[in-house]
């Protein structure tokens, strides 16, 4: 979904924006996209013109000018036990990392937007917002009792018609942007660490964003230049440019392509040691000049035998001639809605895979996931495991079952079976580099099975502006984790409960 201005949004769209901020168990940053929740609000609390007239956040509406206030507040309580399967006790014993912790995190996001209908038919609009966040206690990465206030959105834009069915939309300044399914371009900012609110991840806007769109009926072309809002302590000086072309079927479904070029970066890449023996080689600035072409698709509604089925597909090819990089990734899903059963169960099955570096070649095959949407309902590889493994050198079979007992209540059960694509090769970034029982320095894992994750989530629409989410999750370590630890590892468990108020 391409971010647009907030003017004219009804509660359906607002809830979708809100749902991207709800913290999920074990995902960093956590921003689920919950269309079922949005639909529930639309059904449970239908919007009328009278309700909009009473909107307390609409400060001004006359002479073609609308000025609207925005306010989002969230509070999240989290408990984690045996974090990361207590890998730190083996791979970094000097850190004295405590694998059991509880913490509380919160944020507030105030904002102000405007929309002005000019006499020439164009619409000038913009938004200014900020995020203040804090963590009380020590979070999953052993940081806490800290927080920060940062600028979120500060963009100025204009849109209008060009005639012959063409329209344009031009924007400059920090704002949100998600392309396609969020496989490559979605997460424009980083929370957690010195900024606090690790699980919530309330920051989403790119620090620099120049976005131009041209649309003709069902086809939209987007050109962009983006600079992510990175943590000051780990700023890689990244900048991206590219284009996206998308067709939206009027019946539902879509087909699109995204091209991304990393035009500037100091971010390093790890590469497996030859033969998998030895520590990985880390090359500073390797990300610069990495190019990625991604294709994404979703089927429109079917009739007949395939009624109630939905299929999606994503594939990406990545290359960098300067460092001899060639990588790939992809995902397929199949979803079925049992429309005639109580609670309208929806079952979605999927498989996603991201190439790892083959230690037996000189080419770097490690896929760079760039700025993906890291939530269980989007591109997380597992629920808890997504905090340990980024989308590189992993694959996962996934299953999600969602039911809605009422219009306000949604239950979701997620399962993921997670494996490594390449053995003796960095699974994340090489943090598990260690000495094996034979005295050899190795990285990655020596067997493929990483973990099996289970996640039960409950969402409740309390009222039009207040939403509660709770979850319990467990990650059972696979043989690969057992081998690293040198014994049968214990499961990693945790839970959370949060409330978000959104105006």
Residue 45, pLDDT above cutoff 60? no
Q: Is 239's pLDDT higher than 80?
A: yes
| pLDDT higher than threshold 70 for residue 99 | yes
What is the Cα gyration radius of the chain? 23
- For residue 4, being part of any structural domain is answered with no
Q: For the segment 420-450, what is each residue's pLDDT rounded down to a tens digit? A: 999 999 987 555 555 554 555 557 888 999 9
Q: What is the pLDDT of residues 121-130, one digit of tens each?
A: 899 999 999 9
Sole residue written with tokens 């760079």 = 368
Assess if residue 221 is contained within a domain: yes
More confident call, 98 vs 19: 98
Q: Structural domain of residue 335, as residue ranges? A: 11-502
Closest CA to 425 of 445, 439, 449, 447: 445
Instruction: Kindly tell me if the per-residue pLDDT of 18 is higher than 80.
Output: no
Residue 57 pLDDT > 80, yes or no? yes
Task: Please give the tally of structural domains in the chain.
Answer: 1
How far apart CA 267 and CA 286 sit, in angstroms, is 6
pTM: 0.87
At residue 7, does pLDDT exceed 80? no
pLDDT tens digits for 174-218?
999 999 999 999 999 999 999 999 999 999 999 999 999 999 989
- Give the model's confidence band at 20: pLDDT under 50 very low, under 70 low, under 90 confident, else very high: very low
Q: Record the tokens describing residue 316, joined without a space.
A: 């990406």
pLDDT at residue 46 above 60?
A: no
Task: Check pLDDT > 60 for residue 246.
Answer: yes
The whole-number average pLDDT for the span 332-352 is 96
Parallel, antiparallel, or unpaired: how do β-strands 492-502 and 166-172 relate?
unpaired
Pairing of strands 123-138, 434-435: unpaired
Q: Which residue has the tokens 């694959």?
A: 395
Task: Say which CATH number the domain at 93 has.
Answer: 2.40.160.100
Q: Does the structure show a pLDDT above 70 at 13?
A: no
pLDDT (mean) for 18-32: 38
Q: How far is CA 251 from the centre of its chain?
A: 27
pLDDT at 416 over 70: yes
Q: Where are the beta strands (DSSP E) in 82-199?
A: 101-117, 123-138, 144-163, 166-172
Instruction: Using pLDDT thresholds of 50, 70 and 90, give the confidence band for residue 53.
Output: low
- Where are any strands of DSSP class E within 176-308? 208-216, 219-227, 239-248, 254-264, 269-271, 281-283, 291-298
- Percentage above 90 pLDDT, the chain: 76
240: confidence class by pLDDT, cuts 50, 70, 90: very high
Q: Is residue 3 part of a domain?
A: no
| pLDDT of 51 above 80 | no
pLDDT tens digits along 373-392: 999 899 999 999 998 899 99
Q: How far apart are CA 369 and CA 356, in angstroms?
A: 11
Please compute the mean of the pLDDT values over residues 358-372 and round it to a whole number: 96
pLDDT for 27 equals 42
Q: Is the pLDDT of residue 367 over 90?
A: yes
Q: Is the pLDDT of residue 150 over 50?
A: yes
Each residue of 305-333: pLDDT tens digit? Answer: 899 999 999 999 999 999 999 999 999 99
Q: How do residues 106-115 score in pLDDT, each as one tens digit?
A: 999 999 999 9
| Mean confidence (pLDDT) of the chain | 88
Q: Is residue 153 a part of any domain in this protein?
A: yes
- Residue 473 scores a pLDDT above 90: yes
- Does residue 1 belong to any structural domain of this protein? no
Contact at 8 Å (CB) between 205 and 152? Answer: yes
* pLDDT level of residue 119 (50, 70, 90 thresholds): confident
In a domain, 6, yes or no: no
Within a domain: residue 2? no
The pLDDT value given to residue 5 = 29
As given in the structure block, the two tokens for residue 310 are 């939905």
- Would you say residue 230 has pLDDT above 60? yes
Confidence of residue 148 (pLDDT cuts 50, 70, 90): very high
Q: Is residue 418 part of a domain?
A: yes
């Amino acid at each position: 979904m391409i971010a647009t201005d907030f003017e004219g949004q009804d509660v359906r769209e607002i809830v979708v924006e809100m749902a991207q901020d709800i913290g999920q168990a074990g995902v960093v940053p956590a921003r689920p996209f919950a269309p079922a929740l949005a639909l529930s609000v639309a059904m449970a609390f239908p919007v009328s013109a009278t309700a909009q007239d009473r909107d307390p956040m609409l400060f001004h509406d006359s002479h073609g000018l609308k000025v609207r206030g925005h306010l989002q507040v969230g509070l999240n309580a989290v408990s984690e036990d045996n974090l990361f399967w207590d890998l730190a006790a083996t791979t970094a014993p000097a850190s004295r990392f405590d694998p059991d912790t509880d913490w509380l995190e919160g944020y507030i996001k105030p904002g102000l937007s405007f929309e002005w209908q000019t006499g020439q038919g164009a619409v000038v609009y913009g938004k200014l917002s900020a995020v203040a966040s804090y963590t009380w206690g020590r979070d999953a990465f052993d940081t806490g009792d800290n927080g920060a206030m940062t600028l979120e959105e500060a963009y100025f834009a204009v849109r209008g018609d060009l005639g012959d069915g063409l329209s344009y939309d031009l924007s400059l300044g920090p704002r949100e942007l998600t392309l396609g399914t969020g496989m490559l371009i979605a997460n424009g900012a980083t929370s957690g660490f010195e900024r606090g609110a690790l699980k919530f991840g309330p920051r989403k806007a790119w620090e620099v964003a120049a976005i131009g769109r041209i649309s003709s009926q069902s086809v939209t072309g987007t050109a962009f230049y983006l600079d992510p809002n990175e943590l000051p302590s780990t700023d890689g000086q990244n900048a991206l440019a590219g284009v996206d072309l998308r067709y939206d079927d009027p019946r539902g479904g879509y087909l699109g392509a995204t091209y991304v070029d990393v035009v500037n970066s100091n971010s390093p890449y790890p590469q497996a040691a030859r033969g998998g023996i030895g520590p990985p080689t880390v090359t500073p600035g390797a990300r610069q000049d990495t190019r990625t072409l991604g294709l994404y698709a979703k089927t429109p509604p079917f009739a007949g035998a395939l009624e109630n089925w939905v299929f999606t597909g994503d594939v990406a090819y990545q290359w960098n001639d300067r460092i001899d990089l060639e990588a790939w990734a992809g995902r397929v899903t199949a979803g079925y809605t049992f429309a005639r059963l109580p609670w309208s169960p929806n079952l979605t099955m999927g498989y996603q895979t991201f190439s790892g570096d083959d230690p037996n070649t000189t080419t770097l095959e490690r896929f760079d996931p760039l700025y993906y949407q890291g939530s269980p309902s989007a591109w997380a590889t597992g629920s808890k495991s997504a905090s340990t493994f980024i989308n590189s050198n992993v694959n996962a079979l996934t299953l999600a079952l969602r039911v809605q007992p009422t219009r306000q209540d949604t239950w979701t059960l997620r399962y993921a079976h997670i494996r490594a694509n390449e053995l003796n090769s960095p699974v994340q970034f090489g943090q598990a580099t260690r000495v094996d029982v034979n005295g050899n320095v190795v990285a990655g894992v020596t067997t493929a099975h990483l973990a099996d994750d289970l996640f039960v989530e409950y969402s409740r629409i309390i009222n039009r502006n207040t939403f509660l989410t709770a979850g319990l999750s467990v990650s059972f370590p696979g043989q690969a984790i057992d081998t690293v630890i040198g014994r049968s590892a214990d499961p990693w468990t945790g839970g959370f409960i949060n409330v978000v108020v959104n105006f």
